[in-house]
Structure formats: C-alpha cells, structure tokens
C-alpha cells in the first residue's frame, strides 16, 4: 500500500461497536488513520483510545450531522432488517462523503430480480440505494462471519450441545479478515465500484464448526438439528425479536448449497484468510 494512496482524514465507522466494526476501528488506528465512530450511546461504547466517539442515531438522520462533518469516507453496517429510513440516511451521507464501503452479503446474486431470502434481499436493496446515492462505493460481500458462533456460547458452556436449525455449509470468514479488506477499501485507491466477495478458506457445516469449538475447549461438543418451529420458540425465548427470528429462519431454510471460496482476502491484504479453527482457538474462553 503506497503512502500516497492513504486517506489521512478521519474515517467514520457506522456500526463501530459490533464485531466487524470494532475490528475496522482497531485496524484503522493501527495505520495511524484518524477514526470517528458513530454510536447511539457514546458513554458505553468502550472503544479504544484515540477514537473520536460521536453520538447519533440512524433512525434520526438529523442527528448524524456532527458525525459526518469532516468525514468524507465511511464504513457502513446497516443494522436493520428493512431499508426503511435508509434513503434519508444516505441522503445525509451524500451531502458530506465521497466514499462509502458497505458490508453486504456473499449471497447477493446480481443475476436475479429477487434474492433467495430476506437477509440477502435487504443487502441487495441497500446496494441499489447506495449505487443511486451518487457516492463512490465499494461493497464487501461477506460470507458467514465467524463471530456469529458466539451465539452458541451459552449452550456449549452448559450442555456442550448446540441445538438449532441446520443451514447450508459456507466458507466461514474471520471478522478480522473482513475488517482487513474493509480497511484497504477505505484507505487505498482502486476499489471504487468493486464488489469484493470475501470468504474463509474452508467450507464448513454448522456441525463442523461446533466440533472445532469442542476441540478448541478440550471437550466433545456436537450440533443437533431441531425442527424450525422448535428453533423459533427457543430463539424467541432468548429475547430475539420476532422479525429477526423469521428472517434468520427463512435464511436457514432457503440458503442454497455453495462451495464458493475466494482468494480476495489474500489478494487485497497480502495475507491468507484465517481458518475457523484459529478463530475457535482464539475465542475458546468464551465457550468454557
């Protein structure tokens, strides 16, 4: 990465307190790049020192002014299940920013009018809105992110059995690798109009992921498929919203089989994509 290619102004990270967004913040700081983080609750963000934490709410676009002033480049994670409100947010962004990197899904298919499930449809709709916003864009179409497995921690700690709906195997990607590609797209030239599909190095089923976590913690651990309605009741009891539960279960039911593995992480960052096994070993204490 050439020094001249770096953007030295403050980069705004929207979604900075999530698994990927937090990694984007950390890696931008490591480059010496100024970072501004948008959050609804700045006092509880617990972000690294050196980050300018700014309050704002995507459901109230008028509150974004302070975060957007002086930031012409931003990373966006859209945290909602619909694009309602997105046009107003993108309009506010377009008044300030010249570059946006959006975290999308590898399941988005450009060749179909409607996507296979509501989550991929959401990302396709967001991509369309961003393309029409007039801002230079890059889409990171990510495969399943390894940190999603943290949702199994309670079950593994108590029973060493993960019960849930099965889902087609995917090349699970470490959130640090997603962030690494995002940082390059945010700070280097040459990514405008690109749709980077990022995956891990190995296609894994849920059963295989759970087994690897068991190996990392030194205790046999297994995945047990349950009927969709049983899964629905369990997820609702865990406090997830009905809309989110319906979207997740629809995705589980309709996601097609895929053996897609890309070399995008290594091509852009210069380092091979991390394995899910390495992720499980790093986070073993969360599952003990």
Mean pLDDT of 185-191: 95
- Angle of helix 118-131 relative to helix 242-254, nearest 10 degrees? 100
Residue predicted with more confidence, 13 or 167:
13
Confidence category of residue 3, pLDDT binned at 50, 70, 90: very low
233, 246 Cβ separation under 8 angstroms: no
- Under a CB-based contact definition with an 8 Å cutoff, are residues 61 and 89 in contact? yes
Higher pLDDT, 257 or 272: 272
Locate the domains of the chain by residue range. 3-142+175-198+262-269
Residue 45 makes CB contacts below 8 A (sequence gap 6+) with 16, 17, 37, 39, 53
**Confidence label for 9 from pLDDT (cuts 50, 70 and 90):** low
Expressed in angstroms, the distance from the first to the final Cα of the chain is 40
* Both tokens assigned to 209: 């992921």
The pLDDT assigned to 282 comes to 97
pLDDT at 128 over 50: yes
| Pair of tokens at residue 103 | 């975290």
Mean pLDDT of 74-102: 95
For residue 200, pLDDT over 70 is answered with: yes
Q: pTM score, two decimals?
A: 0.91
235-267 pLDDT, tens digit per residue, is: 787 778 888 888 777 777 677 778 999 999 999
Indicate if the pLDDT at residue 226 is higher than 90: no
**Tokens representing residue 268 in the block:** 């852009």
- Neighbouring CB atoms inside 10 A of 14's CB total 25
Sign of the CA dihedral running 118, 119, 123, 129? positive
Q: What is the mean pLDDT of residues 166-179?
A: 94
At 239 the pLDDT is 75
The token duo for 96 is 């300030």
Six token digits for residue 30: 């490591």
Residue 230 has pLDDT above 90, yes or no: no
Report pLDDT for 191.
97
Q: How does strand 203-204 pair with strand 170-171?
A: antiparallel
Determine contact, residues 257/183, Cβ cutoff 8 Å. no
Mean per-residue pLDDT, 176-189 = 97
Angle at 169 between CA 163 and CA 175, to 5 degrees: 90
Domain 3-142+175-198+262-269: top CATH class: alpha beta
Average pLDDT over residues 24-32: 96
Angle CA 72–181–39, to nearest 5: 50
Extract the tokens encoding 238: 């865990």
């Amino acid at each position: 990465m050439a020094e001249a290619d770096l953007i030295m102004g403050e980069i705004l990270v929207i979604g900075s307190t999530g698994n990927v967004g937090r990694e984007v913040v950390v890696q931008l700081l490591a480059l010496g790049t100024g970072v501004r983080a948008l959050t609804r609750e700045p006092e509880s963000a617990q972000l690294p020192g050196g980050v300018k934490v700014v309050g704002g709410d995507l459901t109230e676009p008028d509150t974004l002014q302070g975060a957007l002033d002086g930031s012409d480049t931003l990373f966006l994670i859209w945290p909602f299940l619909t694009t309602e409100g997105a046009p107003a947010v993108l309009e506010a962004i377009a008044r300030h920013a010249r570059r946006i990197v959006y975290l999308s899904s590898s399941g988005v298919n450009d060749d179909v009018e409607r996507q296979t499930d509501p989550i991929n449809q959401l990302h396709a709709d967001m991509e369309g809105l961003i393309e029409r916003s007039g801002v230079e864009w890059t889409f990171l179409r990510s495969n399943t992110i390894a940190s999603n497995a943290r949702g199994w921690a309670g079950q593994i700690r108590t029973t060493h059995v993960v019960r849930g709906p099965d889902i087609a195997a995917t090349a699970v990607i470490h959130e640090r690798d997603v962030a690494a590609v995002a940082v390059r797209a945010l700070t280097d030239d040459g990514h405008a109009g690109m749709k980077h599909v990022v995956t891990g190095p190995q296609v894994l089923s849920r059963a295989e992921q759970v087994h690897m976590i068991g190996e990392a913690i030194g205790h046999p651990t297994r995945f047990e498929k349950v009927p969709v309605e049983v899964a629905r009741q369990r997820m609702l009891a865990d406090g997830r919203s009905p809309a989110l539960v319906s979207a997740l279960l629809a995705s589980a039911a309709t996601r097609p089989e895929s053996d897609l593995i890309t070399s995008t992480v290594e091509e852009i960052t210069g380092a091979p994509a991390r394995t899910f096994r390495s992720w499980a070993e790093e986070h073993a204490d969360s599952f003990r």
